[in-house]
Every structure is written in C-alpha cells, then in structure tokens.
Structure 1
C-alpha cells in the first residue's frame, strides 16, 4: 500500500532501519546503521528460488510459511522490547514481498512501520549517483610521497587536530601496496566500500578542505570512482618526506605481522619475480629467512617501492602547489603547520 511507503530522503525520520534480506545480502552491503532481521535465511532463499523455477505457486506457499516462522521468531526476540511508539523503516531487495510482509505485520501490531520505496536496489542507485556527484563538491589537499614516509600517520594526526580527513585506506582496509592487506580484516565488498565512501563524503562541509592520501585507482581489490580521481588530480598537494632510516622503521612497524607467517610473506614477494628477476627475489627471501627485517624493507624501498613510485607518480600525484614536510618529529606539530597553511 502506498501509504506504507517512505522515500530514501525520509530515512532519518525513523527510529530504526530494518534490513530483512538474507545474512549474505546484508553482509555484502546495507544501508548505514541498518540491522539485519532476515525473513529468509541464506539456505531458505536458495530453496525458494530453486522451487520457483519449477512451480511458482508452490514456491510462494513454501516461502510464505518460512517468512511467517522467521517473522514470529523476530517478534519474540529481536523486537520484543520495542515500545508501541516505535517507527521502523523496513527494506528488502526491491521493496517487494519480503519487506512488505514484515511492514504489514508490524503495523497490525501497532507500530508505525514503513517500507522503503525501491528497497536496497533504489538505495544502490542513489549511492552510484552520489559517487558521481559528491567528490566534486569539496576542496582537497593530497598527501603525496614515497612508500613508508608517514602519509597515513600525518593524515591521522591531521584528523586528531580537527581537520576533515578522507581515509581511503581505512575504508578499504588495505594499505594499497602488494603487502598492504590488513591482518585479520578482509576488505569489504565493492558495494560496501562505495557505501562507506559516500557516507564519509556526505559527512564533510564544503567550508574547509578535505585531506586525503594520494592513491592509485585501485586499493587492493577495490576501485575508486573516476569522479574522485579527477578531483584529486586537480588538488593542492603536500609532498611528505622522511629519511630512509625513518621509512624503514615505519615499515617495520606497519608490516610486523607479515613475519608471523613467513611462508605467506615469501609467496607475496614471489609475485615480484617477473618485475625484478630471480636474483633479487632470492636475496629478499634470504633476508626474510634470516629475520633481517630492517635490511629487507630497506632493499624493498630502494629496489621496488621507490622505482614503482617514480613510474606511477604522474598518475597518482596531484598537481598544484607543493611543500616538503619531514614528519620524523612531532606529527601533531607538523599537522598544525599544515592546517595553518591550507585550512583557510
């Protein structure tokens, strides 16, 4: 019923957002702040979908029984303590039967539930539109520099000083390099990353600059929108520099977890064989086997990371005015200097 529908723009008026899709669908992506109350489990959705191809009526009957049982379970547990004034917004894939069933029952109980018009599919269209439009709204300052120079540390220091920061590697759960995967934290899906990126962008004000690290178009397995890349190419830039010894120390801290699984580390290094040759690989893996962490990272900086940065620099380096900063000392003081220069 149309009077039970709400638009995406109205979502902030509700007490809670309920995603009734399967746990697998929810895990791939969902509206920010939503909770998962599936009316079909992962396995049940497969059963109903398979049966539908053979007998749509029987699939509808079986599915309705499953939905009823799951709804009852949620009403007895997840929603048992909700007050009579509760206003939930409910959605499924397209704003169809699954969310319609839960919305109808909630309203019969006496809650003021509404169904999200267009469901998740409509929300996803809005996210893609925002990815095209939102990046151009802001003025950026890009932190550029070689691997290990402390860009991420400076970005976090800027955030601690009250600056607007866009932590792309944090959103992607990846440091962007061959060795950049986070330990025990897999990357989100592309859809979930897009959702997080839109939420971050929409949290900024246009009155102050947004600080961000220089990135290639891909962070691990995830792609950045072309609209954001275009905005960063025309941004002001800060070149962050640090001594070789400081960079080695940073990498030893950031990648210490790699030495907990030396075989996996060696396998990652082996992927560089075609680029650097078997002799270089053998030397790096010998340093790894000997536990020579600093020597290994120094070799990787000099032989791999710096040459790679020089090759890619025209693509990932923003144009515009640059200043040199060496963040070997107090990064918060460096951040204050940067803000004094670029915050106006």
Structure 2
C-alpha cells in the first residue's frame, strides 16, 4: 500500500455517498459521477451495458472538466497526485488519463478503495498489539475523558477512542449535531491515529466496551488493552453531577429527550425506578436525576462490565480527582506522567 503522505493531492473519484462512508485520510472527493448519475448508470447497466457506459462517460467528461476548472487550480501543479475509485477501474482511469494528458505526475491506486479497505483491516489486526497500553477506568462522569485530554497536554501519548467515535459511549452518549462516522471510516480514523503513535512509548486510552455507540472496536485493540496497565479514576458524586450538567447540558434543557433514550433500559432497572426518573424530570430536578441515574444504573452497570473485561481491576492503582478543572487535571496528569509514562 502507498505512503499517502507523499502526495500533494489524493482524488477520490467515487460518488459523494461512497466518499462519505469511508475514504483515504486527506482525500478530496472529485466524483466523475454524482449520486444520482451513479444510480442512473447502474440501473441502465442491467439492460443496456453500452448505453450505460455511454451516459457514464458523458457525465464523467463534463464533471472532470468542471473539476479541472474549479478544483484543480487550488493544488500545486508540480506535486504528485493519486487517483482512486472503488476497484481502481473505469472511474479512476478517466481521471488518470485526463491528468496524465495535461502533464501531472499522477498515479492510480491499484485495486482502488477496496484494496485500501482490505489493507486497513489487515493493519488493525497487527498494529494495536505493538503498543503498551495505560488504561483509565472509572464510572461514568468521574472525569476520565478530561483526564485523558490533560495527559495529552502534559505530553503523554494519547488516543481518545470516544473522540474518534464522536460518542461518549453510553445510551445517552450521542454528541448533539455531530453524527458518528460509519464503521469503515471509524476504522480508517483509528488506524490514522495509531500510525501517529510511537510503539516505544506507553499509549494512554480509556477503558471501553466492545462498542462505542454504533461503532465497534477492533478485537485486537480490546485484547491488547486488557493486557495493559489499568489505573482507576475516582471523583466524588458532587463533582460527577457537575460534570454531567456540563457534558449533558442539552438533556438538562430537554429532560424528556433523555428519558426517551433511557426508556430502552426500563426493563433492566424496573418500572418503579424508571418512574422516579420520570418524576424528577417532570419536576426539573436535573442534578437529583443525574445522581440517581449514576447511583442506580450507570455505576452498577459499569461495575459489572469492567469486571468482565478486567477481572483484577480492584488491584489497580487508584487516582483520586479532587479538582476536575483544567488546571487541576493538568497537575494530576503531570504527576501521572512522571510516575507511569516511562
């Protein structure tokens, strides 16, 4: 597989829909056919192969001409260009021929995106085990994610899996206005982050279950994390409630929206407990509701989950977070780097 960093421009010739699902990091979508045109060509191809190609080429030439006029001038003419489509076939060939004729230093990715995707899957089996992991564990709202950010600021090597997944990891963990990446693009982004890291240094991560929202973590990563060093994180309930009020402000303003998501676990907590949540939400007592959610659902659920993944977690060192402010967490992170990041 190519070293993609050597290209000044990577052109993804596929449709916008294909590009949105997954693409090579840094690639620019310059489709030879748009979504509707791609569907039209595909439908006609079933009954009239030559007619489909004829329409497809006409669309492609018009679209490539537009890209040459509007998009290509934004990039250096003397740089290396890589072009790819789904399998490295007709769409990338149309782009390749046009650019080569003009005089660009252009290459076509053999096997296209499909070969790239196969390479990503292979890498996600072999790359994660290369690292020595420091795994932060602790119940929801205890400040693990903020501590992870502070560790990064303190100079530690960090991969924030929830940041890549664009999700906080629970049933109410969706980030407002920010949809999750597809599974394929999550894999791409994860591999990109791991590629930036040095296996000779510890890699700090947060303990996660198999899925973060709708995306699944590679089995090789989870297995490698279980073999790492676990560090427990603890904060008192007052601080945890305040953190929830900041991170879930949208639910404090829309408690019914939160209850709508929580109704799927009603059978787990029981009708009586769920009705208490409804009562607190109706009365606007959000700090009380957040605390009750943590004490009666999230904390026990996390405890069961973490013991399944890390049976010896109780033997791990404990970090008390008495100050969840950025300055307070940075001070703790610097101490942790001195103690563990060697």
Task: Flag whether TM exceeds 0.5 (same fold).
Answer: yes
Could you say which residue in structure 1 is the equivalent of 2:330? 332
2:202 aligned with 1:209: yes
C-alpha separation in 2, matches of 1:334 and 1:322: 17
C-alpha separation in 2, matches of 1:212 and 1:83: 38
Q: TM-score, normalised by structure 1?
A: 0.95
Could you say which residue in structure 2 is the equivalent of 1:114? 107
2:29 aligned with 1:36: yes
Does the 8 Å contact 1:216/1:315 carry over to 2? no
C-alpha separation in 2, matches of 1:11 and 1:198: 13
C-alpha separation in 2, matches of 1:131 and 1:215: 17
Give the secondary-structure state (helix, strand or coil) at the position aligned to 2:127. Answer: helix
RMSD over equivalenced CA pairs, Å: 1.4
Which shifted more, 106-115 or 43-52?
106-115
2:320 aligned with 1:322: no
C-alpha separation in 2, matches of 1:199 and 1:83: 24
Could you say which residue in structure 2 is the equivalent of 1:90? 83
Q: 1:248 to 1:195 in 2, by over 3 A?
A: same
Which shifted more, 71-80 or 46-55?
71-80
Could you say which residue in structure 2 is the equivalent of 1:76? 69
Count of residues in correspondence between the two structures: 337
2:341 aligned with 1:343: yes
Could you say which residue in structure 2 is the equivalent of 1:149? 142
Structure 2 unpaired stretches of 5+? none
C-alpha separation in 1, matches of 2:76 and 2:24: 23
Could you say which residue in structure 1 is the equivalent of 2:56? 63
Give the secondary-structure state (helix, strand or coil) at the position aligned to 1:38. Answer: coil
2:133 aligned with 1:140: yes
Q: TM-score, normalised by structure 2?
A: 0.95
Could you say which residue in structure 1 is the equivalent of 2:157? 164
Deviation for aligned residue 1:328: 2.0
Q: Deviations over 1:320-344 (max 9, x none)?
A: 7621111122111110111111111
Which shifted more, 194-203 or 241-250?
241-250
Q: 1:339 to 1:81 in 2, by over 3 A?
A: closer
Which shifted more, 314-323 or 325-334?
314-323
2:190 aligned with 1:192: no
Q: 1:250 to 1:317 in 2, by over 3 A?
A: farther
Deviation for aligned residue 1:318: 7.3
Could you say which residue in structure 2 is the equivalent of 1:128? 121
C-alpha separation in 1, matches of 2:76 and 2:270: 67
Give the secondary-structure state (helix, strand or coil) at the position aligned to 2:105. Answer: coil
